[in-house]
Structure 1
């Protein structure tokens, strides 16, 4: 579907995490280009501001359509502050794009919160953010969460007794586990959500997949399509680019979803209800 056939998003407010580079930056650019108000998240305030300035200078985006936020996802206190700031300033949020991500490091690394860093940055921070944004996320038709996941979730398993992989660590397995968790989270009945593998793109994560990738703008287009209220979704659906396909076996099983929620609540320090 060409941009000319897509609906205007001028009445939509969208938060994009990891919006300072790669797919996140291109997602923000395309959303703003279609009239959405875009909340740009970056690791630091300087990175977020630079991304907003670049969108205005190079893409002709209206600066009034952009708001910047900062939080280091390796610090859960900053994720909590981000959520509270967004809810206070944007009490209605139509779409949350959980895009921020990192490749797991070569050596096993634990955050100050006590979690393996890729599991926290790629999944736990987004889990916590989504739960805290629940008061703002609209339940009206078209409101949704879009998790930018990976086809590598198919190679993964969640190590329930050792999610931080302290006993046996490999960077690829740690990264894949974080993407599997993010994909499972899309099936959580508390939110209307989908997950999408945007294709192998030429970003910082490319070495995990291949030697060559498509332009980030091409991958972002698949994310933006799912932000459009004209695109009907089913909670927990998984897409590879623009095609809905079955995720890995067990991803949408109620038992797995509940088990992951319980584990995530424990690891981010949220009390379960």
Structure 2
């Protein structure tokens, strides 16, 4: 398969990168490649034991810090400790995410767990680290979307899915919210003249423990895709390339969105991907932003 590969990552010496969910899957590969190219990588993980094992496997210049994105107290504590030791942060990869089965669950702050972890936790984290990032040279935030964002809709009257809850639909909504956040962040960064670039990526269908569950809400076709498993998905190393490109390629512009260019964007070489209409709607972005500020208590830009 030709196209952009991790070998095209430029030298990352002197750069500090923060990767959430860095102990497995896409996050582990992202952290590994960044460290391999010389970055100091902060592995931001819920389970520090798993994080320590990941750091051992990765080698290079790594450190492990505890971060539970489902707890705003944890997010604040993480950000405070990180900035006190790393006043300049070059790269933030908002990679971590959850896909749940079964009944509705909530975060420590009472948010629907998908939205609370996948979007609101990262919204708060980004805002709390933005000052340290603005001090860096060519700083960048990368938010991890999903092709499932295209079939989702943000219902602001029931954003927390308290009615007619389905876990897989809630996942898609959380990924749409993440995508809207990344695009709205770009708008606000540009408007204020910030040096920080907000880019996005999605992995298509990649062999992690999250992907099959993320497709179940698409009815029978989605369940068939999930059951194809190894035949329908691509290796995690390939699925990680869109976010690595968004994170490291020189000249990436704010608002760019990278993903696989193969059939239905499920796999293949990395290209600039298509966003849903709702994801790019400025009115939706403005409303979600104000809602997220109110829910998290984090205001910025």
Q: Structure 2 length as normaliser, TM-score?
A: 0.83
Pick from 202, 206, 211 the counterpart of residue 211 of structure 2: 206
1:264 maps to 292
Unaligned runs of 5+ in 2: 190-195, 216-225, 261-269
Q: Evaluate the alpha carbon distance shift between residue 227 and residue 271 of structure 1 in structure 2; reply closer, same or farther with a 3 A threshold.
A: closer
Quote the offset at 1:122 in angstroms.
0.6
1:223 maps to 243
1:40 maps to 43
Q: Evaluate the alpha carbon distance shift between residue 140 and residue 168 of structure 1 in structure 2; reply closer, same or farther with a 3 A threshold.
A: same
2:192 maps to none
Q: Does 1:93 align with 2:93?
A: no
1:201/1:216 contact within 8 Å kept: yes
Q: Evaluate the alpha carbon distance shift between residue 158 and residue 139 of structure 1 in structure 2; reply closer, same or farther with a 3 A threshold.
A: farther
- Stretch moving more, 207-216 or 18-27: 207-216
Please state whether the residue corresponding to 1:261 is helix, strand or coil.
Answer: helix
CA distance in 2, matches of 1:78, 1:224: 26
Pick from 63, 76, 79 the counterpart of residue 67 of structure 1: 63
Q: Does 1:237 align with 2:256?
A: yes
Q: Evaluate the alpha carbon distance shift between residue 25 and residue 4 of structure 1 in structure 2; reply closer, same or farther with a 3 A threshold.
A: closer
Report the structure, 1 or 2, having the larger helix content. Answer: 2
Quote the offset at 1:202 in angstroms.
0.9
1:133 maps to 129
Give the paired residue count. Answer: 265
Q: Give me the CA root mean square deviation.
A: 1.8
Q: Does 1:147 align with 2:161?
A: no
CA distance in 1, matches of 2:300, 2:101: 31
2:202 maps to 197
Quote the offset at 1:141 in angstroms.
5.8
Pick from 76, 81, 92 the counterpart of residue 80 of structure 1: 76
CA distance in 1, matches of 2:73, 2:20: 16
1:59-105 CA-partner distances (Å, limit 9, x unpaired): xx32xx10111122221100111111111111111110000001033
1:40/1:69 contact within 8 Å kept: yes
Q: Does 1:166 align with 2:162?
A: yes
Please state whether the residue corresponding to 1:136 is helix, strand or coil.
Answer: helix
Unaligned runs of 5+ in 1: 56-60
1:58 maps to none
Q: Evaluate the alpha carbon distance shift between residue 103 and residue 225 of structure 1 in structure 2; reply closer, same or farther with a 3 A threshold.
A: same
